[in-house]
Structure formats: structure tokens, C-alpha cells
Amino acid sequence: MVSSDSFNPDFNTHAGLNDDAAPVSPIDDTAAPASPEQRAPPQDTQTQQRVHEVLHSDIGVTTLLNRLKASIASARDFASFLRRRGALEEEHAGSLKKLSRLTLDGLRKADARHESYATQFEHVLHANERIADNGTQFGLALHAMHENLLQLANKMDGNRKTLKQTGLAAESKVQDAEKLAEKAKAKYDQLAEDLDRVKTGDTGAGRKFGLKGPKSAAQHEEDLQRKLQAADQDYASKVQTAQAYRKELLVSARPQAVSGLLDLIKETDAALTMEMQKYASFNEKLVVNNGQVVSPQPLKGGTMQPPPSVNQLIYQINNDRDFDDYILKNASKVSAVKPELHYVKHPTQAPAQSYPSLTPAGNQDRRTSMPPQIQPPVSFSTQQPEANGSSFQQQPPPQQLDSESQAGFSSYQAPSQPTQAQASGYGKSPYSPVAANSFSQAEYPRGPVGQATAQQTSGILYNNPQPPVNPVFGITLEDLFHRDGSPVPMVVYQCIQAVDLFGLEVEGIYRIPGTSSHIQQMKALFDSDASQVDFRNPEAFQHDVNSVAGLLKQFFRELPDPLLTRDFYNKFIDAARVDDDTMRRDSMHALINALPDPNYATLRALALHLHRVQQSSEVNRMSTANLGICWAPSIMGPHKGNNMADAGLQARVIITILDHVLQIFDED
């Protein structure tokens, strides 16, 4: 386990990373970063003088206001960056911790690998949780920095507005006074020019007409002289006022505004720089702390050995020892040695002959999982020819039956008496297609000997070029029923039996396609003589259960009339459109009960088989929805017209049947 003493995840203190209680930082502490004031070169006197002149000029206050506005905007931008970066860190840390916990829960399940792998991987997951904790602390620290900067920016913005109002008001007061003085001067100058022209005899100077008629030259000169004196007094007064205002501005108002704005700018810039330095320091601390989790380093002056690194934890996984420990845990399950199996031909088929015995393979070479064993029915079974070349001894049925299997393969009553009479003589045949495997499974050899045995059992070689003798594919279920006397075709029963025995735990069964050539070879076997195929022996299908699943789907696809029939297609689609689950189930239940007898029996066997496949969905990843999508085109046939919505409704039909299979087939 990674010790918490090997690193410091606290991001709230702006402490150095190379103190006595902290791990060795990968950054050299001899080159500590200097403050901005220390890094900046000293400014010369001339530059300072020029800056002072600009600041105390007429544009000084406006320039400082713009500079303070830029500083506040920069602080807000960096605060927004800190907020988003902190949110990303917290989200990443939360996802990493959640992933570690989910993985840890899965690691502790009974079906997962344990031993040294589980122990070391658990340490690695705890290390990931420590990294997530560091990220969470880092995100919280950035959030606090964001709040501080945002509060500072708002405060500086308020102070800026106050100084802007006072500083610009003083500047505007002086400017207005100077404009009034300039207007008074213009009026004074105009009157002085008019008086001078009157004195020099210019008859066009000034106004000569009054209320009582034209004025004389003396009267006009006297009038201009009087106006000139009034304008002179007004001009002198406005100049004195403007001078007083400017003096007040230069002495007190402008220096106060400049000083206040300078203080705000420096405070904002210093605070922003400090937060950026903290951000850099926190980033370094995050990397160092995560490094201490991944590869712990000894503390300065410490004598305690650091915990192992993640790399060392991984290298401590011993695959060979884990394998041996797992196998030895199952040693108590090893069964006693079974007697040697011999092939004995029935005395009615041929004179007694000795056959070479087949050496049984070890239990570890085949699957140990068996489907539920149930009692075969009496009503219908496969009609066996008398000269089929092989027979099997039937074992007594087991005492306890699985409830689902009983529901799946219960007795089926035929509608017509002649057909029942035809099939009654074979009620105990081991190949009853409506019964699950009721025989003890034989031990078949592997390799070339097993392949030869499988071909001998089936009676037909894979590369047999002969045309179909007793075709099964492309024949309607009704014709197969009348010909073979079995409501469930032999190919359906054999494929279901093979998947139940060897395919329930195969990931992607019915979704992952098999080998096309292999499927065609097995199709030829059934078209030649389906009664001689025995898929209880995995050598009979070359241990390729995916090809068996593909063969079963191909049988239904090649039916001239789909399993749910064309006549009932629109009715099933209409039932799938019903939103209420119970009403949709009842509607489909009624339609299924109305299907022809062979279709009903075959659908019953297939639906209960797919239900067993779905029960192992945690292993084979084939849920009801996945099975519905895979099987809908095969069971219902291609959707009609160009309406692609029918494809989804087809899948809904199959999903509804599989979801309620035990309710639909419970009273037969």
C-alpha cells in the first residue's frame, strides 16, 4: 500500500516543496524563482521622468483608468481559467475515483481472478484513488483562488468607478473654465477691433442704428467703449477662475487621482501575479505528489524505506503461481476415474463383432456445464429408421426437473389422430425433438480419432458430394411434420441441444457468425439423413458452436413460410405497436395460440431455449434485446415494403415473447 506519509496533498498552503517534511522536488531548489520586482531590470531616471510627466498631464487620469480596466479584465480572465481548470480537475478526479471503486468491486467478485493479481491490482487501484484525492485537493485550491481573484476584481472595479468620477470631474471643471475664458477673450478681441476701426474713421465698423434712429459717430464710439470695458472685465474674471481651477487641479485633485489609480493598478497586478505564482506552485506540488504515489522517494533525512512503486507492484504479480493456486483450489472437485467406454452394436443390427475401444478424454478437455435434464414426452418424437446404423442406450430420466425446462418441453397433443398414431411407436426415442437431452453424456475422444468417431456417428462425411436424400432445409414446417412425425424438426432439436450443452457461456452466441463452409457442410448432413446426426458429441460439429448457431438461424431463414407465418405478420406488427406491456403480451399470446401446430411447437422450443441463453447473459453478453435484434428477421422474415420501422417492431415482437415466455407457454 502507498503510505500517506510519503507526500503532502495539501494545496491550501503556499509553502515550498523542499522543506524537511516534504519529498524531494524534481526542480532544483538552488534556482528559486524571484519575484517580478526582483526580476525586472532597474529603470533609468529619464524613463521615470517621462512616465511622471505623462501621468501628471491632461491625459494621465484617462490613461490610468484604461490601464486599471485592463488589469481588472486580466484578473477576471485568469479567475475564469482557474474556475474551469478546477472543475476539470474535480471532474477527472471524481471519474478516476469512481472507476477505481467500480474496478475494485469487480475485482472482489467470486468469478474474477484472485491470488497475487488481485492483491497487487488492489494496491494499484488504491494508488489511483490517492491520485484522484490529489486532483480533488488541487481543484478545490483553484476554486478558492478563483473566488479570491473575482472578489478582488469586483472591489477594484468599484474603486475605479469612484476615482473616475472624482478625477474626471476635476479635469472637466478646469476644461470648462478654460473654454469659458477662451470665449470671453474672443468677444473682447472683437470689440477692441471694432472700436479701433471707429476711431480710424471706418464707417462700417460696429452698429450705427439704435432704437431712436441712426447713431452718430461719437455715440457709436462711446457705446463700443462701454461694451469693451465690460468684456474686458468678464474676460479677466474668467481667466482668473480658470487659473484657480487649474492650480487646484495640479496641486491636489490630479495627484490624488493619479496616486489612487496607481495604487489600485499595483494592487491588482500584484494580486494577479501572486495567484499565478500559487497556480504554478500548486501544479508543481500536484505533479510531485502524484509522482510520490506512482514512484515514492525517501524523505530528506529519513531512514524508513519508501513503499513500492506502481511499477514494482505490477512486477510482483506471479502468473504461474496464481495459475497453480487456482487449479489446486479445485482439486477436491476431481471425480473418480470412469470405466473405459466400449462401443457395442445392437444384436439385431449385425452379428456380434468386436470394436476397438475409445479412450475417454479427460474432464478438463470439455465443458462440464450441462443443461437441465427433463423427461421426454410421449406424444411426438423423431421416427428412427430400423437400419440407421447406430443406436444409443437410453438412461432413466433424473428425479428432479428444472421448472423452466418442464415448461419448455412438456407434452404436446397433436390435432389429428392419424398423425398421432404414426408417431406413437417412437415415444421413447432418444432423439425426441421436444425433449431435452435425457441421456448421460458420453465421453468422446478428441483429435483425429474423435473426428472419425463423429463421422461414424453421423454416418456421413463432411465432404459428401451426394445430393440431398431427405431434405430438411427449404421445407415447410407442416411438410416436415407430416413426413417425419415430429412437431419440432430434428435440426432444431439438435442445434438447441448443442448450444445448451456447449454454447450458453460463449460470448456473442447467435451474434458472432460461424464459418460459412462449415455451416454448409452441416446443412448437407441434415439434408442427407437428419436422424443420424448427434450433436451431443462436439466433434460432430468440430467444436464450432457458433456455426451450429448459424445453422439454426439459416434453417429458419430458409423456411418457405416464416415461423410466425406471413398470414400473422401484420397482426404481430400491430400487437407490437401496443404500448401497454400487459396488453401487448396478451395480444401476442392469443396470436401464438392461433399458430399452426408445428409452428407453435417449434416456437415453444426455440423461445424457451433463447430464454436459457438470456439467463447466462452476464457471461455470453446476449440480453433479451440483443437476441430480439438477432432473431427477428429469421423468425418473422424480411419486413414488408420499404417501411424500415417494421424492423424495430419485429425486434419488439421477439423481445416481448422472450420477456414473457413462461407466461405464454405455461398452460399447454
Amino acid letter, 332: S
Q: Which cell goes with 592?
A: 401464438
Q: Which residues contact 662 (CB under 8 A, 6 or more apart)?
A: 404, 407, 611
What's the confidence (pLDDT) of residue 211? 56
- 120-134, 287-301, 619-633: lowest mean pLDDT where? 287-301
- 81-85, 155-159, 384-388: lowest mean pLDDT where? 384-388
Over residues 327-361, the pLDDT tens digits come to 888 887 787 666 778 787 767 665 544 433 333 33
What value does the mean pLDDT take over residues 424-432?
37
Angstrom distance (rounded) from CA 580 to CA 40:
77
Can you spell out the DSSP letters for 531-587? GG--TTSGGGGTT-HHHHHHHHHHHHHT-SS-TT-STTHHHHHHHHT--SHHHHHHH
Angstrom distance (rounded) from CA 600 to CA 603:
5
- 254-258, 524-528, 624-628: lowest mean pLDDT where? 254-258
Angstrom distance (rounded) from CA 188 to CA 236:
10
What's the confidence (pLDDT) of residue 285? 92
Q: How far is CA 615 from CA 235, 406, 479, in A?
A: 106, 16, 33
Q: Which cell goes with 610?
A: 433463447
What's the confidence (pLDDT) of residue 13? 52
pTM of the complete model beyond 0.75: no
Q: Residue 355 in contact with residue 345, Cβ under 8 Å? A: yes
What value does the mean pLDDT take over residues 634-652?
79
Over residues 186-232, the pLDDT tens digits come to 988 888 888 888 878 765 555 555 555 566 777 777 888 888 888 88
Using the predicted structure, report yes or no on whether residue 577 has a pLDDT greater than 70: yes
Using the predicted structure, report yes or no on whether residue 533 has a pLDDT greater than 90: no
What's the confidence (pLDDT) of residue 167? 79
Q: If you ran DSSP here, which 8-state letter would residue 437 be given?
A: -
- Alpha helices, DSSP H only, in 19-114? 36-39, 45-55, 60-107
Over residues 58-95, the pLDDT tens digits come to 888 889 899 999 999 999 999 999 999 999 999 999 99
